[in-house]
Structure 1
Amino acid sequence: MKKRNNNSFDRAKSAAFTGHRYYDFSRKDIIRQRLSRAIVVAYDNGIRNFISGFATGIDLMAAQTVQSLKLSHPGMVLTAAIPFRGQAGRFKPHDRRCYDELIEKVDEVIVLSEHYYPRCFLDRDEFMVCNAAQIIAYYDGRERGGTYYTIRKAREMGISVTNLY
């Protein structure tokens, strides 16, 4: 994975995704439809850059959805915010294949650290919030974890949160 232009996008035209790594698989099609609608609405409102943390679950699904919409939405950009080099090293084989395929197609890869450290995922979430005008979330209301942290931080900063749950 190559590190590309670090933060060369406009925050006012950027949205970031947050969501659970595990979700009810029987709802996959519904979640994907909601993501697609939210991405198109954001695009219609001037958002062009979509930032994904590329974790398993909602992050990868959101990245796939953006990638599938790019052909029909000129100027749509997908940015990968990777918390540390080697993030996908422990993914299950299916998730790793998905990650590898997507990472080759993204418009920008931002690797925030060369190595894992205990707070790297929260720092990645904070990076995404600080570089987005909108958060598109899939959040079930549990008060713990990265999705909770990201939404709380966004609200503290007055950033719009769209919850698709």
Structure 2
Amino acid sequence: MYRLNIGGPLLTSQNDSLGRIWENDEKYLHVNNSAVNVSVDLLTINYPDGVTPEIAPRWVYASADTMGDANVTDLNFNITWVFSVDLRFLYLIRLHFCDIVSKSMNTLVFNVYINSDLAIPSLDLSSLKGDLSVPYYKDFVSNSSNSTGTMTVGVGPDSLLILAMPF
């Protein structure tokens, strides 16, 4: 099982009401300098109805990775995390999102990939949730689509809005 706090610190039972451990994501990044960590004050996170700290603690939503300088000329590069998996199993993947980087609505639009398949196209969290700093999560079931025993999860700019991306 992997439970990551993307862009944030290691979380332990002192930070999680259910006693879960959330690892920092750095060792899972495919390209280490593809991401820049950002965080906000925990009090800026506004849980909507039906989402509570038991789903994920505030730290999970108050930290993130944004597109970094991957020393590539392709502005369409992704932040990708790689996980070792057993090819015989299906995996539940729960992705947590919260737009803590935008200064205004409808400015952060990105794609989400699982095993190079487009899982969520053109995700605009502020449009979906009606505000900034509002937690959102989405579940997927997937297997490893390759024979290497790895699974990948990635995010990248929506190609139609590449010029508007705040990365």
* TM-score above 0.5: no
Which structure shows the bigger proportion of residues in helix conformation? Answer: 1
Q: Provide TM-score, normalisation by structure 1.
A: 0.24
Q: Provide TM-score, normalisation by structure 2.
A: 0.24
Which structure shows the bigger proportion of residues in strand conformation? Answer: 2
